[in-house]
Amino acid sequence: MTTVELNHTIVAATDKRASARFVAGILDIGLGDPWGPFQPVTVGNGVTLEYIDSAEVHPQHYAFLIAEADFDAVFGRIRAAGLTFYADPFQQQPGRINHAYGGRGVYFHDPDGHILEVMTVPYGPTPEAL
């Protein structure tokens, strides 16, 4: 079997620098140097979000696995930014976090409407209610 890893994905934004700074600030990670038309943000496992300016943005979902020890700080930055947050991806449980698979998780929007998720435990093999 071939070994495959996700290396990067392109994220459309109305302002690539603002959107990249937003996600980097919430997650407390650094911005990469601009690369051509992209503003990269690289997460801990080497996957890079390549933000690009776009007149048309179709919101996507991006999930970030973080350490349990980091959740309170990340969640604190979400709350300090005055963001509406949800326990579920369908936004039916506002103002709550979830405890899926014995961890903690929360959903919120970036400035362009992308749904961002932080979670402390990856999803298991069987769907679990959030």
Q: Give domain status of residue 37, yes or no.
A: yes
Q: Give domain status of residue 130, yes or no.
A: no
pTM attached to this predicted model? 0.94
Residue 93, pLDDT above cutoff 90 = yes
* 17-24 average pLDDT score: 98
Q: Give domain status of residue 128, yes or no.
A: no
pLDDT score for 34? 97
* 46-64 average pLDDT score: 97
Strand (E) positions, the chain?
A: 8-13, 38-42, 48-53, 61-65, 85-86, 105-109, 115-119
Helix or strand holding residue 23 (H, E): helix 16-27
Q: Give domain status of residue 112, yes or no.
A: yes
Q: Give domain status of residue 80, yes or no.
A: yes
Confidence category of residue 18, pLDDT binned at 50, 70, 90 = very high
Structural domain for 26, as ranges: 8-119
Q: How many domains does the chain have?
A: 1
CATH of the domain at 58: 3.10.180.10
* 92-110 average pLDDT score: 97
Q: Give domain status of residue 124, yes or no.
A: no
pLDDT score for 126? 84
